[in-house]
Amino acid sequence: EPEVTQTPSHQVTQMGQEVILRCVPISNHLYFYWYRQILGQKVEFLVSFYNNEISEKSEIFDDQFSVERPDGSNFTLKIRSTKLEDSAMYFCASLVGGGTGELFFGEGSRLTVL
């Protein structure tokens, strides 16, 4: 069964460092998302991406965050200068087409900022 894959599964970084989280969405999907989940809390929307540009973003997705689809398969989330409060599980998700439907989530990348 096709799946969304994410790397790394866990990254530990020092405050102020740049982090790149990588995702390979399902190959025929067109819409891509990043969500985050702080430990024990709800899953929060960060950004959606379609046709090589951001469709929507939340208040969390400030200037420290960026997304990119550099090569037609990877979808990356970059945090320029990490803060302690960026520690969370980051989930990538993809959707086959427009409208509504099943978002397929990856297993997540756990980011720990020290």
Q: How far apart are CA 9 and CA 12, in angstroms?
A: 10
Looking at 13-21, 61-69, 80-88, 98-106, which segment touches another protein (CB under 8 A)?
98-106
Question: Per-residue DSSP letters for 16-33?
Answer: T--EEEEEE--TT--EEE
Nearest to 38 by CA among 88, 105, 111: 88
Question: Which residue of 82, 91, 94, 111 would you call a contact of another protein, by CB under 8 A?
Answer: 91
Does 23 sit near another protein (CB under 8 A)?
no
Q: Report yes or no: 110 and 10 within 8 Å, Cβ to Cβ.
A: yes
Closest approach of another protein to the CB of residue 17, in Å:
25
The residues of the shown chain that bind another protein, judged by CB under 8 A, are 4, 31, 35, 39-45, 48, 55-56, 91, 93, 95, 98-108
